[in-house]
Amino acid sequence: MNKDFAIIGLGAFGRQLCKELVEQGAEVIAIDSDEERVNDVAEFVTFAYCCDCTKRSALEQLRLNEVDRVIVAIGDKLESIILTIILLKELGVKRITARAEDESVKRVLEHLGVEEVIDTRELAVASLGYRLLSRSITQYVELTGDHSVATVRYAGKVPSEKLADMNLRGKYSLNVLLIRRGKKDIVPTKDDCFEPGDSVVVFGTKSAIRRLDKKIK
């Protein structure tokens, strides 16, 4: 992978996505208005900036129109999301992925010209082929030519093995970004497992996601 990404918003999802993209060889610019969050990722991303992305002067200095894709992962601050996207478009950023966890917000972002709108809680499948081939993949968003983020529903009747024992990274080069359990987001550790009803947000190649789909159905 030889891609450049900028991720705006370093909450649980944004931070973990930074980490996984870097581990897959991408250049990542991490941005947040919270200095503590920025410092938390500064040691492993390419560049980390603390700034208010709703301010045009701040965004202009970052030259985000030169990266392959900007991912707006701000979360539920609607005004900040909209202002940031408007400014990104005005500054010439063409490929934008944005996070929206409400259908009305999704429609607003699509009207603003956002290329990809993702919902990390309950996401619609972006590929008809994946919808037809799998009942457990509830979202699929392609980030690069071969790497994607997908949400896979764990259909087991009992808890899975611990992640350390499943060894998804070693076997499939697949990274678990989040486990969504009801309304709770869990940044997984090696001691966590999948429980019935969990939605698992993963990052990896298309083939690795298919293999996971078969494993946890």
- pTM, full prediction: 0.61
- Tell me: do 107 and 197 sit in the same domain: no
pLDDT at 85: 92
Residues 22 and 95 in one domain: yes
Instruction: Please tell me the predicted confidence (pLDDT) of residue 99.
Output: 83
Whether residue 114 is found in the same domain as residue 143? no
**What pLDDT does residue 118 have?**
78
Q: Domain check: are 112 and 148 in the same one?
A: no
Count Cβ atoms below 10 Å from residue 120 Cβ, excluding itself.
23
What CATH number does residue 169 fall under?
A: 3.30.70.1450
pLDDT at position 121: 57
Q: Do 150 and 88 share a domain, yes or no?
A: no
Largest CA distance in the chain: 52
The per-residue pLDDT for 126 is 35
Amino acid 40: pLDDT: 94
- As a 3-state breakdown, the chain gives helix, strand, coil percent values, each rounded to 5, of 35, 25, 35
Domain shared by 94 and 188, yes or no: no
My answer on whether 13 and 112 are in the same domain is yes
111-120 — which CB contacts under 8 Å span 24+ positions?
112/82, 112/85, 112/86, 113/89, 114/72, 114/85, 116/141, 118/149, 120/13, 120/151, 120/178, 120/180, 120/201
DSSP output for 30-85 = EEES-HHHHHHHTTTSSEEEE--TTSHHHHHHHTGGGSSEEEE---S-HHHHHHHH
Q: Which two tokens stand for residue 26?
A: 């991408």
Answer whether residue 104 is part of any domain.
yes
pLDDT recorded at residue 212: 79
Q: What is the pLDDT along the chain (217 residues), one digit of tens a residue?
A: 456 899 999 988 888 888 878 877 789 999 999 999 999 999 999 999 999 999 999 999 999 999 988 999 887 678 888 899 999 999 999 889 888 877 777 888 888 888 888 776 544 333 433 433 444 555 656 665 567 788 888 888 899 999 999 888 888 888 888 888 887 888 888 999 999 989 888 888 878 887 777 776 6
Q: What is the CATH number of the domain that holds 8?
A: 3.40.50.720
- Residue 43 in tokens: 């040691």
Query: 123 lies in a domain?
Result: no
One domain, residues 12 and 111:
yes
Q: Are residues 40 and 114 in the same domain?
A: yes
In this structure, the answer to whether residues 146 and 169 fall within a common structural domain is yes
Supply the pLDDT for residue 38: 96
Range of the domain at 83: 4-118
pLDDT of residue 47: 95
Cβ within 8 Å of residue 206, ≥6 positions away: 146, 148
